[in-house]
């Protein structure tokens, strides 16, 4: 009697197909690493599909904190590319096939979708379309997809805890490298301002961009430190990271970074100091001490040694005038995303032979998105702050029913938002990761609160 097994009868064909595919791949990439990659591929797929939130979070961390540039040994491994592929595969798999990811909608997502549509329109109408299109393809569409992914995937206390700890740990790593570079005079600009990866053209090679990256995780580190329900190891991580990031931001000598970190500390202090007179007195003293400690007055640009309004301040004023001119000339779409720099010459009232960055979130959005884009952007920030305050208020009303990780994240998100708003005067954040990560966590926290907590009147 002949017995056939349908599942087994196709194995020779499958083996032949696999061998043919491997042969083609080997013809283009004849490397022994291919064998290793193939051997670990099944495990990688299992991890990717089993932990979609981790894949998305790691992609965001590598993209924002530039871990592969902070540690150049990782650069050639193409980790961000691999994580982006893993994230998208996991999202498609669980949304289209398993249904484990159930999208929901909130007002915040509606506003950011409108803003995204305006960005797309701005790309089509940009004064330099290739520049706008390159930034959109290389960076911005990934930010938008991951914003929705984080919002929809952050569902449990375990997810909130993972996000807070990984963001804090990533900030610690970047902060330690920044301090190492400072003490060893590696990549300093203007004689004293620390950078990371300047020699390889990293985004962190600009001290203002580095300050933004260092400032962002401070809110999460403090939340780990101050939450009484966390264990000693978590509090120790929060304490060490807070101290490292504090001094790392100082050595960037970035006004925006200093204002941002001061605001984050201020939010936590304001909610814990009963006397507001004492709070404001301590705040003024802290601000004076911090700016003195940072040595802003000794900077090669923007120091008190320069006559009149310092060069750094005048440069920003010229840039902001140029931004306003771009918006007046293009009121509905602006000059297009990432187009401020290339348009500076045509709109600046002062030309010193070089194009300059805008160094302001508000003026940057105004220039590149027009007046309508700025109105929508400000509406997003306003709604995020209101939603964050409301979520935190409801959590504190029913604290016994809330996991400490969710409470800590809700505090960190509010402090981070306020720090972002204040630092936005001097740092360009309209089309970079921080605001969008905070938006996703605000949405996720509010959704959790609405789903798990009752309304108290």
Q: What is the DSSP code (8-state) at residue 457?
A: -
pLDDT grade, residue 165 (50/70/90)? very high
Q: Is the pLDDT of residue 352 over 80?
A: no
Q: Tell me 349's DSSP state.
A: S
pLDDT (0 to 100) of residue 2: 47
- Residue 183: count of CB within 10 angstroms of its CB: 10
301 has a pLDDT exceeding 70: no
* Average pLDDT for 66-77: 88
What's the pLDDT score for residue 35? 58
Residue given tokens 């120091």 in the structure block: 303
Whose CA is closest to 334, among 301, 303, 375? 375
Q: Pick the more confident residue, 361 or 309.
A: 361
Residue 456: per-residue pLDDT: 63
Instruction: Kindly state the average pLDDT of the residues 51-68.
Output: 89
5-14, 158-167, 324-333: lowest mean pLDDT where?
5-14
Closest CA to 110 of 54, 148, 157: 148
d(CA 208, CA 222) in angstroms, rounded, equals 22
Q: State whether the Cα torsion 306-287-424-227 is positive or negative.
A: positive
Our separate counts of H helices and E strands in the chain read 20, 0
The arithmetic mean of pLDDT across residues 99-121, rounded, is 91
Mean pLDDT, rounded, of the chain: 84
127-154 pLDDT tens trace: 999 999 999 999 999 999 999 999 998 8
Three-class SS of residue 231?
coil
Whole-number pLDDT of residue 368: 94
Does residue 41 surpass a pLDDT of 60?
Answer: no
Instruction: State the burial class of residue 355 (Cβ atoms within 10 Å of its Cβ: 0-12, 13-18, 19+).
Output: middle
What local confidence, expressed as pLDDT, does residue 351 receive?
Answer: 77
Q: Over range 113-123, report the average pLDDT.
A: 95
Tens digit of each residue's pLDDT (9 = 90 or more) over 335-347:
999 999 888 888 8
pLDDT at 393: 94
Arithmetic mean of pLDDT, 227-253: 92
Rounded Cα–Cα distance for residues 452 and 264 (Å): 28
440: pLDDT confidence band, cut at 50, 70 and 90? very high
Q: How far is CA 67 from the centre of its chain?
A: 13
Share of the chain above pLDDT 90, in %: 49
Q: What is the pLDDT of residue 24?
A: 60
Which of the residue ranges 48-62, 252-266, 396-410 would you say has the lowest mean pLDDT?
Answer: 48-62
Q: Say if CB 122 and CB 36 are below 8 A apart.
A: no
Residue 7 has pLDDT above 60, yes or no: no
Please indicate whether residue 311 or residue 372 has the higher confidence score (pLDDT). 372
Using a 10 angstrom Cβ sphere, with 0-12 exposed, 13-18 middle and 19 or more buried, the burial of residue 118 is: buried
CB atoms near residue 398 (< 10 Å): 13
> 3-class SS at 185?
coil
Give the dihedral of Cα atoms 70, 72, 74, 77; nearest 10 deg.
130
pLDDT value for 348:
83
pLDDT, greater one: 318 or 382: 382
Task: Name which of 432, 319, 430 is nearest 368 in CA terms.
Answer: 430
What pLDDT does 236 receive? 94
**Could you give the CA distance from residue 217 to residue 246 in angstroms, rounded to a whole number?**
11
Q: How confident is residue 182, by pLDDT bands cut at 50, 70 and 90?
A: very high
């Amino acid at each position: 009697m002949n017995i056939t097994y349908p599942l087994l009868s196709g194995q020779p064909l499958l083996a032949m197909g696999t061998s043919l595919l491997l042969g083609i791949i080997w013809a283009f990439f004849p490397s022994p690493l291919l064998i290793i990659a193939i051997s670990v591929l099944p495990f990688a797929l299992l991890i990717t599909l089993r932990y979609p939130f981790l894949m998305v979070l790691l992609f965001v961390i590598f993209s924002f904190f530039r871990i592969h540039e902070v540690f150049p040994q990782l650069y050639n491994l193409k980790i961000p590319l691999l994580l982006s592929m893993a994230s998208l595969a996991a999202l498609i798999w669980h949304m289209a096939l398993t249904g484990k990811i159930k999208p929901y909608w909130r007002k915040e997502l509606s506003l950011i979708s409108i803003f995204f549509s305006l960005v797309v329109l701005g790309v089509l109408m940009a004064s330099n379309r290739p520049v706008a299109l390159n930034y959109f393809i290389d960076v911005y569409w990934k930010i938008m997809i991951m914003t929705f992914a984080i919002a929809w995937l952050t569902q449990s206390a375990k997810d909130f805890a993972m996000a807070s700890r990984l963001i804090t740990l990533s900030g610690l790593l970047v902060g330690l490298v920044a301090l190492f570079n400072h003490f060893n005079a590696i990549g300093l600009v203007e004689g004293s301002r620390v950078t990371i990866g300047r020699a390889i053209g990293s985004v962190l090679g600009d001290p203002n961009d580095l300050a933004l990256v260092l400032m962002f995780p401070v809110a999460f580190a403090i939340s780990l430190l101050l939450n009484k329900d966390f264990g000693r190891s978590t509090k120790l991580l929060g304490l060490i990271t807070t101290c490292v990031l504090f001094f790392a931001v100082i050595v960037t000598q970035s006004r925006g970074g200093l204002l941002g970190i001061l605001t984050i500390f201020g939010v936590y202090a304001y909610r814990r100091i009963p006397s507001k007179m004492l709070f404001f007195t301590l705040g003024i003293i802290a601000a004076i001490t911090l700016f003195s400690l940072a040595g802003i007055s000794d900077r090669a640009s923007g120091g008190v040694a320069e006559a009149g309004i310092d060069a750094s301040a005048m440069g920003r004023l010229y840039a902001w005038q140029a931004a306003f001119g771009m918006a007046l000339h293009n009121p509905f779409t602006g000059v297009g995303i990432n187009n401020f720099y290339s348009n500076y010459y045509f709109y600046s009232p002062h030309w010193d032979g070089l194009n300059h960055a805008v160094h302001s979130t508000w003026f940057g959005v105004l220039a590149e998105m027009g007046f309508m884009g700025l109105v929508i952007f400000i509406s997003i920030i306003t709604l995020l702050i209101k939603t964050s305050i409301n979520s935190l208020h409801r959590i504190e009303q029913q604290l016994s029913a809330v996991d400490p990780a969710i409470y800590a994240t809700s505090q960190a998100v509010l402090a981070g938002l306020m720090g972002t708003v204040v630092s936005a005067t001097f740092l360009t954040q309209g089309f970079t990761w921080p605001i969008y990560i905070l938006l996703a966590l605000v949405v996720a926290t509010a959704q959790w609160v609405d789903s798990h907590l009752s309304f108290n009147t």
